[in-house]
Amino acid sequence: MTDRFDTISEIALDWHRAGKGVALATVVQTWGSAPRRVGSQLVISSDAEIEGSVSGGCVEGAVVAEALDAIEDGKPVMLEYGVSDGDAFAVGLACGGTIRVLVEPIGAVMPVSLLEELVAARDAREPVAYVTGMTAERRLVRDGHADRFRMDRSGFEEDGETFIAIHNPPLRMIIVGAVHIAQALVPMARIAGFDPLLIDPRESFGSEARFPGETILHDWPDEGVAAYGLDTRTALVLLTHDPKLDDPALEAALRSDVFYIGALGSTRTHAKRVARMTEKGFSDAEIARIHGPIGLDIGASSPSEIAVAILSQMISVLRQGA
C-alpha cells in the first residue's frame, strides 16, 4: 500500500544500479494546506522519470526541473514553494499553503551504501530513521525517536537543520479466528492501512467464500504467527474464544514486541485467561499488555460495532502508547 510503505527508496536504488543519475525529493516542512504530508517523497531520474509525489500541479513540475539540475551539479538543494489562496484550487488545494522540499542526489549527496542499508532494513521490516539535512551528517539510526516512530512522524529536530525521515514497516494485523467479527474487521483494517492475515485451522471458517481475496492460513495459531512473524508494527487480535486456539498465539505475542494484543471475551473470561498466563510464568506487566475484553468501551453490540471498537483501540495504542 504505497501511501504508508511506498517503494521510493527501492526504485531509487534500482535506477542508480541501472546507471542513471537519481535524486530523492522529500517534503521536509509544510504550512497551511498541503497535499502531501511531511516525509512524502518523489524520486527523479536523469532521464526525467518520476515516481511518488511531493505536491501537485506546477509545484511538482518545478521540483522535477530543480532535481535534474541537482543531479547534474551533485549538490543538495532546499526548495520552498508557496501557493496563494487564489491559485490553490488549480493544484488541488482547498486553500493556499507553503512547502519546503529537500532534494538529494544519490551518490554525490546521499551515499549509495546508505541507500542500500536503508532498502535492506525496509526489506527486513526493521524500523529505521534517516538523518539528513543541508548540513547534517547523513546516517541511519535505529535507537531514539520513539515518539516519531510511533506516530510515523518525520520532521526537523529543534535545531531546525537536522531532518529525521521515519521509515516504518507497513502495519500488519494478525487475526486468530475467522469468525463473524473478523468479516467486519478485515475490510476496516485495510481502509485504516493495515495488512490483515487470518489464521484459523477450521477451513469452513477461514474460507475464500467468507473472506474473498484475503490471506488465510489454516495452521494452528502458534505455527501461523511463527511463520508470519511478530514485530513492533504488528497487532494481534484473538477472536476464537477458545483457549486451545487463542492461548498458543497469545503466548508467542507476549514474548514478542507486537504493539497491540487484544482478546475477545467477557471480564470473567479474561480473568481465566490471566490465570492461565500466570501459570505459564508470565509477569503481571507482561499480562497487562493484553486488552481484554477487547476494544474500546463504546457499548458495541453488533459485529461491525465491535470491529470499530477493536480498530479504534488499536490505533489509540499505536499513536498514543499503551
Q: What is the DSSP string of 59-98?
A: HHHHHHHHHHHHHHHT--EEEEEEE-HHHHGGGT-SS-EE
pTM of the predicted model as reported, rounded to 2 decimal places: 0.80
Average pLDDT over the chain, rounded to whole? 91
Residue 1 has pLDDT above 70, yes or no: no
Q: Are 264 and 241 in contact (CB under 8 A)?
A: yes
Whether omega before 293 lies within 30 degrees of 0, making that bond cis, reads yes
The CATH number that domain 171-320 falls under is 3.40.50.720
pLDDT tens, 66-88?
A: 999 999 999 999 999 876 655 55
More confidently predicted of 322 and 24: 24
pLDDT tens, 176-220?
A: 999 999 999 999 999 999 999 999 999 999 999 999 999 999 999
Q: Looking at residue 55, what is its pLDDT?
A: 80
Q: Where are the domains of the chain?
A: 8-167, 171-320
